[in-house]
Amino acid sequence: MTALRTDRLVLRKPTMADWPAYRAFYASDATRFTGGPYDTKSAWSFFAGDAGHWALHGFGWFILDNGEGAVGACGLHHPPHQADLEIGWNTFAAAQGNGYATEAARAILKIAENDHHQRRLVSYIDAGNGASKRVAEKLGARFAGEMAAHDPACEVWVHWEGAV
Partner 1 sequence: MPRLVDIPMLETERLTFRAPEIGDFDALAPFVMSERARYVGGGADKDIGHAWRILATLCGHWHLRGTGVFVAVRKDTGAPIGSMGPWYPDPWPERELSWTIWDSDAEGKGYATEAMIAIRRHVYADLGWDTAVSYVDPKNTRSAALAVCLDCVIDPDAKAPHAEDVVYRHPAPAEVLT
Which of 15, 32, 140, 146 forms a contact with partner 1 (CB under 8 A)?
15
Which of 24, 27, 28, 49 forms a contact with partner 1 (CB under 8 A)?
49
Cβ–Cβ under 8 Å, residues 124 and 156:
yes
Q: In the window 124-143, what residues touch partner 1 (CB under 8 A)?
A: none
14 interacts with partner 1 by CB under 8 A: yes
C-alpha dihedral sign at 77, 70, 109, 102: positive
Stretch that binds partner 1, among 29-37, 41-49, 88-96, 135-143 (CB under 8 A): 41-49
| Other residues' Cβ atoms within 10 Å of the Cβ of residue 63 | 27
Count of alpha carbons within 13 angstroms of residue 80, beta-carbon side? 1
- Residues near partner 1 (CB under 8 A) are 13-16, 19, 23, 40-41, 44-58, 79-82, 150
